[in-house]
Amino acid sequence: MARKRKKPILIIALDVESRHEALELVDSLRGRITYFKIGSRLFTAEGTGIVREIHEAGASVFLDLKFHDIPATVAGSIRAATRLGVWMMTLHTMGGVEMMKAAVEAAVDTANRDGRERPLLVGVTILTSLTGDDLSAFTRFDGDVSDLVVRLAGRAREAGLDGVVASVEETSRIKREVGQDVIVVTPGIRLAGESAGDQKRVATPRDAARSGSDYIVVGRPVIKAPSPVAAVDAILEELD
């Protein structure tokens, strides 16, 4: 008998301009959504205070700042984010194994010192706005994007990260070749018939569930909907 696959958990991306818009969306989805993503757009506008306010609203924060720098600098950023009490955060796998290891050590050490649970660390592989042609335009890469994504996922696991950010196209390969326990967070989710926008490797919630994604991240299809609540209900229904 085939193993029953659990359905992905929905994360709503707070890709909005202000604290007011973000908190209004969090409040409107209370009881439906537990996890919200804060990216560079909202974080730059509102700072660390918005993280605390979302926590106070009873939700958890996925801090998506995609840290990418020398190991010492990234470790410092990870320590600061861990002290904020975020549930999960991102860093770029392209920063290298030593950078990722430094991030893990910083998160573990800070969480232990503060007596808090360590945040999940997930490595961004190849952005879902990029294709193989895009990569070959500015690198010597001349292959299948999924091969590179799986290789980066393997490096992330080697460094001790909890998982990676990857498109639905690569998820099943990551689970099969890197490990079933590797968390896969999938952006670029669109309901059938919706515009892909600036995303190039997109998929539906049902596709993500079939591929084995653990979490799916949805922003514009909910934020731009006439009713964000109805949009979320439609996604949850499709996942069911």
pLDDT at position 169 is: 87
Q: What is the reported pLDDT for 146?
A: 84
* Burial class (CB within 10 angstroms; exposed 0-12, middle 13-18, buried 19+) of 240: exposed
The pLDDT score that the predictor gives to residue 72 is 98
pLDDT at position 153 is: 97
Cβ pair 12, 225 in contact under 8 A = no
What is residue 127's predicted lDDT score, i.e. its pLDDT? 75
Active-site residues, by number, are 66
- pLDDT tens for the chain, 240 residues long, are 344 457 899 999 999 999 999 999 999 999 999 999 999 999 999 999 999 999 999 999 999 999 999 999 999 999 999 999 999 999 999 999 999 999 999 999 999 999 999 999 999 998 767 665 666 556 666 667 888 899 999 999 999 999 999 988 899 999 999 999 999 999 988 776 555 454 555 678 888 899 999 999 999 899 999 999 999 999 999 888
Model pLDDT, residue 192: 61
Q: In this predicted structure, what is the pLDDT of residue 3?
A: 43
Domain range list for the chain? 11-179
Give me the CATH code for the 11-179 domain, please.
3.20.20.70
